[in-house]
Structure 1
Amino acid sequence: MEKVSKRYGGVVALHEADLAIRAGAIHAVLGENGAGKSTLMKVMSGVVTPNEGRMLLDGHEVTFPGPTAANRAGIVCVFQELSLIPDLSVAENILVSNPPRRFGLIDRRAQRRIAGEALARAGAPDIHPDMLVRDLPLSRRQMVEIAKALAREPRILILDEATSALTKADVRTVFEVLKRLRAEGMALLYISHRMDEIDELADECTVFRNGRNIQSFATGTRSRQDMIEMMIGREYRHAFPPKVDPPPQVAPVLSCRGLTWGRSLDKVDLDLRPGEIVGIGGLDGQGQRELLLALFGVLRNWSGSITVGGAARRLASPRDAKASEVGMALIPEDRKTEGLLLPMTVGENLTLAGLGRISAFGVVDRAAERAAIDALTAKLQIKTASPDIPVGALSGGNQQKVVIAKWLMTEPRIILLNDPTRGIDVGTKQEIYRLLRRLADEGAAILYYSTDYDELIGCCNRVLVMYDGRVTAELTGDRITEHNLIASALDVGDATTERVAS
């Protein structure tokens, strides 16, 4: 890539960007959300056309009118936002663009065979090709996305936060797959905010900031501190806001007892007090997501009891949960499909959850709406050219800010968060950490599931660790350590953890 520029109206997404990648190497691209990484990837893969610059493949200048042309040239992407069709099978998704045919009809047997080979190559032979994608958890869908890319036999594989939704076991599997592909001579472009992954996988790195490439270097020749400061353009201090524990005599604002739902939740007990951030830990898929959904009224037919402010509540829908007498908000796992309406504007998404506060008799007060949009944009420092552009045009970090801001408009007193910093940059993470602590200090009660142990350690007053649908341990104070979190997640316990009776 030589002197590549891309503008969207007055917004410059890329400015004279250069990038060189080679076969048999993993090249990491680093930068904050909005730094230009995704735009560069879309130019490479034919999704967008640059305004200036050129691209050379094997020394020959190439242009791609669309993704199909890029695929034919051997350039394939694995996007952070999945491109799968939920109501189709795994095999149909993997070969959706070029299914095998026999006598003019799709050859289902060959389709299953090719899909099975792709899944095995991706390290996911346990996923059956005939399963519907909608029946798979997010982490397994991501593995299908990787298999879909490998089925196209790429020469250059671009991975955009491809591990952000994976379990730790799947991450290890993908690492081995990527190392094998590198040994086979494939060129891999790897976009990630996880520095541990960069250290382990990358041969070379390029840092982008404000649409420009700042520097390229061999992995290991720059410290993490140096790389982060290159990304954000200023000195970096990685620190979580100081914790403030609420007085022990404060009554819980939210309690549940014996909360059970199918095989996912098994007699969960929980107390959440105003002013505290309670973390939920454990291996992915141990009931954490279902706990948040049950509390927010998404799941039906659960048993047990939920009390809010000392009063028993039967939360049968999200409408019940967000009602003023309950005051609950949920920041969901997948901002693209569960948190935002991508074709709608930034402003429309910001006010979506709180329309009742700015309308009367079904008519929205436009002046109040604009004031609310301006206030929320300023409060969360959302970077947007205008509140009238589609929210899908924002960077991932700014989209996540919109999801959070949307619910802050309802002034919730109970905030449920499902891995809210997945796939966003270090600078935006810091802003979210400070925001959560400020909300807690103002009296909000926060229940926070995260797959990042550092966040649980740095942000939370207490951590409840779940295993097989049960809360098996509670960690407090200096017992909230990575060692204890891992030991509790594996249900092997430790002398320093507080065991919770079954």
Structure 2
Amino acid sequence: MDRAGQGQPVTAPLLEMHGIVKTFPGVRALDGVDLDVRSGEVHCLLGQNGAGKSTLIKVLAGAHQPDEGRISWRGEPVSPADPQAAMNLGIATIYQELDLVDGLSVADNIFLGRESARFGITRPAAANRAAAQLLTRLGHPEIRPTAEVGALSAAQQQMVSMARALSQDAKLIIMDEPSAVLDNEEVERLFGVIRDLTAHDVAVVYISHRLEEIREIGDRITVLKDGRTVATGLPARETPTREVITLMTGRTIEYVFPPRGTAPHTGEAPLLEVEDLELRGHFDGVGFTVRPGEIVGLAGLVGSGRSEILETIYGARRPTSGTVRLAGRRLRPGDVGSAVAAGIGLAPEERKSQALLLDDSVYRNITVSSLGRFARGGFLSGGAEKAAARQQVEALDVRPADVSRVVRTLSGGNQQKVVLARWLLRDCRVLLLDEPTRGVDVGARSEIYALVRDLADRGVAVVVVSSEIPEVLGLADRVLVIADGAVVAEAPADELDEHRVLDLVMQGTPHTGAPIASESTTRQHEGDVA
């Protein structure tokens, strides 16, 4: 409930953002966004992927400069020129993709750029003591201030990032999907810290897709859609779930999907079989099959286990238990080489860091998984590599069509085509696609969709993970809804709509193998709040 509704006086906002516009080449990311945040409140920022949430918080954090609009801080106009300027105002940001330095210690990361010094000499002992106090406040006294950050778990790294925000004596802390890598106990600790902060008049902007969290910790809600504010100041505990979901849907981006085929392979035995697969801490009891020529979509929130499922099938992660079979043959767990040799390819979510050799050529990025076929007398034949890559570049219409060009210089859509070309050259039988159109413009999206459908028509089994529900529904033949590491529903894509899938993934109540919620079940949730 909004604190104003609890009898407390409504004070002037700590932060006001009005008419914020931010344009990137070919994309208007923010188109007149309004937001106001009061001292001591948890203001929840909601919206689907691409709604503009990340761009907005980067404007507030000084990482981006707005093209239009105004920002007021404590009633005074401000324009943070960089993150340090925002920090000096009292604004701290905890990004979803943590900006920690792996090679430095915990304490060094917490106080980076603000090292404790006396007479020009740093005082590591003082920094270690202060870091330990902050981590104890967060409920994690076991994290040693001297430990190297790169050796910590993802959840522990999240705590280090939070400790850094707390160390800045901030008056406004932005938390972008802070619970994505935390278990239930850690989330409760986080909420305890947030309540302590707001009790001392610190404001929190909380970004999450999990409506049960918004209900528990939030005061007011602002909803963004397609770079615009569609609702602001909604009471977090009184606003029905259905109203929030309706505000979030109805995207204006056009998804041009190729028509589904006639499913000529439905009578065939499954090509990929995943049985009772578990990766402790990420997902449990996951099982599904994919037939030749079928596209199966995995819909779920960040942190639901979607990406980890693909990585485990590919062999990049060793499962705790369960089996993966390809054409009836059990694959060796945790062995990428075995999976690739069997015919499995993966286009990962972070193509720049996980898939591409950014400073190498287009042709080498395409041939890197098939180098054995280009060896001549122990040496690679560059001419043969280039010829094979050129065929793929022409088939996929990679632009510019220069196979010697450094792949870093290509657009996001063309980089993704290069990743797909790698597996086309390899003649893979199962293709795993994790966020295949992230950072890709609308035109390139339709080309990638057509390519994926063409691969399925040729008999390739495809598994697609996407945060954009219209993409999953438009591209897949069958959809599995993932929540909290379990399959909560499964149905043909043409029997689903965006509203229903959003309702399932955001309720976050897994019942393995459960059918899609009926209309009566959905009505029962209409009294729920965001």
TM-score range, shorter chain: 0.5 to 0.7
**CA deviations over 1:28-86 (Å, ceiling 9, x no partner):** 12222222221111111111111122211111111222101111111110101111122
Q: How far apart are 1:295 and its partner, in Å?
A: 5.3
Which position in structure 2 is the counterpart of 1:399?
438
Which position in structure 1 is the counterpart of 2:396?
372
Q: Confirm whether residue 335 of structure 1 aligns to residue 353 of structure 2.
A: no
Write the distance in 2 (CA, Å) between the matches of 1:201 and 1:319: 45
Which of 122, 126, 131 is equivalent to 1:106? 122
Matched position secondary structure for 1:70: helix
Alpha-carbon spacing, 1:224–1:478, altered in 2? closer, same or farther (3 Å): closer
Write the distance in 2 (CA, Å) between the matches of 1:170 and 1:397: 31
State the one-letter code of the partner of 2:438.
Q
Which of 7, 21, 43 is equivalent to 1:5? 21
Asked if 2 retains the 8 angstrom alpha-carbon contact of 1:122 and 1:150, the reply is no
Q: Report the TM-score when normalising by structure 2.
A: 0.63
Alpha-carbon spacing, 1:45–1:12, altered in 2? closer, same or farther (3 Å): same
State the one-letter code of the partner of 2:78.
V
Which position in structure 1 is the counterpart of 2:413?
387
Q: How far apart are 1:372 and its partner, in Å?
A: 2.6
Which position in structure 2 is the counterpart of 1:80?
96
Q: How far apart are 1:429 and its partner, in Å?
A: 3.3
Asked if 2 retains the 8 angstrom alpha-carbon contact of 1:121 and 1:150, the reply is no
Write the distance in 1 (CA, Å) between the matches of 2:415 and 2:316: 30
Which of 484, 506, 521 is equivalent to 1:452? 484
**CA deviations over 1:259-314 (Å, ceiling 9, x no partner):** 999x999xx999864449899xxxx99x99999766534469x9999864345665
Asked if 1 retains the 8 angstrom alpha-carbon contact of 2:107 and 2:127, the reply is yes
Q: Which runs of 5+ in 2 are unaligned?
A: 1-16, 253-262, 374-381, 400-409, 418-434, 493-510, 518-530
Asked if 1 retains the 8 angstrom alpha-carbon contact of 2:315 and 2:339, the reply is yes
Percent identity over the alignment is 29
Which position in structure 2 is the counterpart of 1:296?
314
RMSD, aligned α-carbons: 5.2
Asked if 1 retains the 8 angstrom alpha-carbon contact of 2:306 and 2:482, the reply is no
Write the distance in 2 (CA, Å) between the matches of 1:386 and 1:305: 34
Asked if 2 retains the 8 angstrom alpha-carbon contact of 1:433 and 1:459, the reply is no
Write the distance in 1 (CA, Å) between the matches of 2:195 and 2:21: 32
Matched position secondary structure for 1:399: coil
Q: How far apart are 1:179 and its partner, in Å?
A: 1.7
Tell me the number of residue pairs that the alignment of Structure 1 and Structure 2 aligns.
Answer: 418
Which position in structure 2 is the counterpart of 1:47?
63
Which position in structure 2 is the counterpart of 1:309?
327
Which of 217, 231, 235 is equivalent to 2:248? 231
Q: How far apart are 1:223 and its partner, in Å?
A: 2.1
State the one-letter code of the partner of 1:387.
G
1:482-501 residue pairs with structure 2 within 5 A?
A: none
Asked if 2 retains the 8 angstrom alpha-carbon contact of 1:354 and 1:410, the reply is no
Asked if 2 retains the 8 angstrom alpha-carbon contact of 1:5 and 1:16, the reply is yes
For structure 1, which segment, 406-415 or 192-201, has the greater mean C-alpha deviation from structure 2 after superposition? 406-415
Q: How far apart are 1:199 and its partner, in Å?
A: 1.8
**CA deviations over 1:387-437 (Å, ceiling 9, x no partner):** 36999xxxx8942889x97996987967788xx56xx4xxx1353366455
State the one-letter code of the partner of 1:372.
L
Q: Which runs of 5+ in 1 are unaligned?
A: 236-243, 376-383, 441-447, 462-474, 482-502
Asked if 1 retains the 8 angstrom alpha-carbon contact of 2:110 and 2:161, the reply is yes
Matched position secondary structure for 2:180: coil
Asked if 1 retains the 8 angstrom alpha-carbon contact of 2:416 and 2:436, the reply is no
Which position in structure 2 is the counterpart of 1:431?
471
Matched position secondary structure for 1:217: strand
Asked if 2 retains the 8 angstrom alpha-carbon contact of 1:250 and 1:273, the reply is no
State the one-letter code of the partner of 1:452.
D
**CA deviations over 1:413-468 (Å, ceiling 9, x no partner):** 67788xx56xx4xxx13533664554x8xxxxxxx895536x6111389xxxxxxx
Alpha-carbon spacing, 1:389–1:126, altered in 2? closer, same or farther (3 Å): same
